[in-house]
Amino acid sequence: MVKKYKKDDACSYALGGALVVELLKNKPAAARCVYVSPKASGGAAIELARKNGVEIIESEKAFNILSPKENCFVIGVFDKFEQKISGERHHVVLVNPSDCGNLGTIMREVAAFDCADLVIIRPAADPFDPKTVRASMGAVFNIGFKCYNSFDEYIKEFADREVVPFMLNGSPLSKTEFSRNKKYSLTFGNEATGLPESFEKYGAVRIEQSDKLDSLNLSVAAAVALYKLYSS
Amino acid sequence: MVKKYKKDDACSYALGGALVVELLKNKPAAARCVYVSPKASGGAAIELARKNGVEIIESEKAFNILSPKENCFVIGVFDKFEQKISGERHHVVLVNPSDCGNLGTIMREVAAFDCADLVIIRPAADPFDPKTVRASMGAVFNIGFKCYNSFDEYIKEFADREVVPFMLNGSPLSKTEFSRNKKYSLTFGNEATGLPESFEKYGAVRIEQSDKLDSLNLSVAAAVALYKLYSS
């Protein structure tokens, strides 16, 4: 039975051929089935589904329910998979991110500047929401990420690293040197409220910007910081 | 008469109170009038309109036509204004950008890392499209930008500067030093096709990334490069 996505569902959806390809290339065991519109004419996603023995179901109805307005002819249904991060890598830590588009865009950046895993502190946008999956352009299937209920819970598990909180009153990023011998947790707050003051104890860093804007878009800030770490 | 926006119209729309505030703060002379929904209850945009002597029209119909699905209670109608850039500043040059969302996001980055004006080489997404205006979060009213019909037309006018084309086969950005004595034109191609090979003669630069992705999102690439120039 196809139904609209809800946060507590055990499965979610990859809407569109390009996302289904990423699903089947990177997490084939999580794929439950692939819906194909009668309007679809083959394509890489369907071939990959066949090769992986994933059931292919022709259905108009699935598209009406899941993607009524869009140019989408293939849908991948997948089980939410176990999430893992590594203590051997840097982390990007998002504390209470609220927007699926930002979260997905940052997943894509984490895949591009491939030196860090992603940590999401709840309450937070849902990493498996089809909107996040789409904004990630499939990176959700390709990166290490894990959700925690609090920053404390996370940092207890990974104590041996440098927390770098991004805050408006921090010292300039361009003057910050990252050491090759350390593991860093680049930490960003909610889009509207930023990080709580309690993070200042770690030594805050700021991305220099003009006073023409209140603050940078979260995904732009994460990209700038992550590239600096990646290319250091 | 309110009607849906078209590219050749002499005026465009700022949809929502925050955008109307940016319009009235930065380009008050371009404001024709402000539509207010009967559902609106005052706010900074309406106060600013009053202060600037901009006509305020209560109308439900304008919202049905221009913003049927959204939580928008104030609309600013503005004349497209003359665009200007300065030879004394760096430039971000977008060659044939096709997406209003990317164009608006990059306008916002140009406002944030305030060291460059924006050049748009046609054919290109429309800088005055209400979608661009919204993605820019009002930065369109706050930055210098100008459209040209070709890169040649642009570079003839601004010959005395370093063109830095971003291409996948360039040398690493992290090893690139920007000199304080030079004016740079950070140049980016279309989202799907990138820059033509002819730009290689300027000495291409690339933003290092993993092979997990084909290429970076245009607005992420522009942010990373522009921050490096801004903070150099």
**What would the DSSP string read from start to end of A92-138?**
EEEES---HHHHHHHHHHHHHSTTEEEEEESS---TTSHHHHHHTTT
Nearest chain A Cα distance for residue B144, angstroms: 13
Q: Are A184 and A161 in contact (CB under 8 A)?
A: yes
Residues of A in contact with B22 (CB under 8 A): none
* CA separation for the pair A40, A34 (Å, rounded): 12
Largest alpha-carbon pair distance within chain B? Answer: 58
Helices (H), B30-184: 44-51, 61-66, 100-112, 130-135, 151-157
Q: Tens digits of per-residue pLDDT, B88-133? A: 999 999 999 999 999 999 999 999 999 999 999 999 999 999 999 9
Q: Is the pLDDT of residue B26 over 80?
A: yes
Q: From the list A172, A213, A231, which residue is nearest B108 (CB)?
A: A213
Q: In Å, how far are A155, A202, B166, B185, B186 from B204, measured between CA atoms?
A: 41, 38, 6, 12, 10
Which amino acid, A127? P
Confidence band, pLDDT 50/70/90 cuts, at residue B68: confident
Nearest chain A Cα distance for residue B152, angstroms: 30
Q: Is the pLDDT of residue B42 over 80?
A: no
Q: Please indicate whether, in this complex, the C-beta atoms of B108 and A227 are within 8 angstroms of each other.
A: no
pLDDT at B31: 98
Determine the residue of chain B that is closest to A111 in CA distance.
B212
Nearest chain A Cα distance for residue B135, angstroms: 11
Residues of B in contact with A227 (CB under 8 A): 207-208, 224
Determine the residue of chain B that is closest to A143 in CA distance.
B212
Residues of B in contact with A217 (CB under 8 A): 105, 108
3-state SS assignment for residue A219:
helix
Q: How does pLDDT run along chain A (232 residues), one tens digit per residue?
A: 789 999 999 999 999 999 999 999 999 999 999 999 988 777 899 999 999 999 999 998 999 899 877 788 999 999 999 889 999 999 999 999 999 999 999 999 999 999 999 999 999 999 999 999 999 999 999 999 999 999 999 999 999 999 999 999 999 999 999 999 999 999 999 999 999 999 999 999 999 999 887 778 899 999 999 999 999 9
b/e per residue B206-223 (b: at least 16 CB within 10 A)? bbebeebbebbbbbbbbb
Determine the residue of chain B that is closest to A175 in CA distance.
B231
Q: From the list A114, A212, A231, which residue is nearest B114 (CB)?
A: A212
Q: Please indicate whether, in this complex, the C-beta atoms of B220 and A219 are within 8 angstroms of each other.
A: yes
pLDDT at B162: 98
Q: Tens digits of per-residue pLDDT, B164-175? A: 999 999 999 999
ipTM of the complex: 0.90
Query: Which range (A86-100, B37-51, B182-196) has the least confidence?
Result: B37-51
Q: Is the pLDDT of residue B70 over 80?
A: no
Q: Is the pLDDT of residue B40 over 90?
A: no
Chain B, 148 to 207: residues with Cβ < 8 Å from chain A are 172-174, 207
Nearest chain A Cα distance for residue B228, angstroms: 8
For testing contact with chain A, the best of B143, B220, B230, B232 (most A CBs within 10 A): B220
pLDDT at B115: 96
Chain A, 41 to 100: residues with Cβ < 8 Å from chain B are none
Q: From the list A105, A109, A224, which residue is nearest B227 (CB)?
A: A224
Q: Is the pLDDT of residue B219 over 80?
A: yes
